[in-house]
A = this chain, B = another copy of it.
Amino acid sequence: MKHPLRQHIEELIELTNEEFAFILSHFESTTKRKHQYILQEGEIASKEYWVVKGCLKSYFFDEHGKEHILQFGMENWWITDYESFVKQTTSKINIDCIEDCELLYISYENREKLTKEMHKMERFWAKKSKYGRIALQNRILSLLKNSSKERYELLLEQYPQLFQRVPKKLIASYLGVSRETLSRLNN
């Protein structure tokens, strides 16, 4: 059976066995329990994670101490504080596990090395980055344009399994609505 990371990369880029072995040699693996964190505000994001199994959230607090969810991460998703990782500056966000997690990660240095040495991986991450940017653009369109009910329905349509795996109050925090509003939308 193919390695799940190889399956994931080969959705966009074909690889030989040797190429995948070379890529994988740049990654390490780790496991985290529910509630453990992989990044805290004020740290520099030194790793980008790929989720083998589990679910995580990236979030930040506003000045009133209210939590806002920026992103969830599940199987086959990449997660880090993208700004902190790319610019190697201190992070404004936190990333915690909301389930027990199996993760692969690549360090900033290894990712730079790999993309410089291997045009195919530059191409892979360029494509992932494009799709990430499109998802963010659509979230902005949606925040500017859609009602909370419409945002809820879009999320349910795109990521139905989130609603099984993630507590309601986190969904509310992602959508930028109160838990009471979410309960009404849910019915």
Contacts and interface: CB of A to CB of B under 8 A. Distances in A.
Residues of A contacting B: mostly: helix
Nearest to A139: B140
Contact of A136 (B60, B87, B123, B133): B133
B82 A137 contact: yes
Interface in A60-88: 60, 62, 68, 70, 82-83, 86-87
Given A126-B125, A176-B144, A132 B134 contact: no
Given A122-B126, A125-B126, A70 B133 contact: no
A171 to B, nearest CB: 14
14 contacts: A62-B145, A68-B144, A70-B137, A82-B133, A86-B130, A87-B134, A122-B123, A125-B126, A126-B126, A129-B129, A129-B130, A132-B133, A136-B136, A140-B140
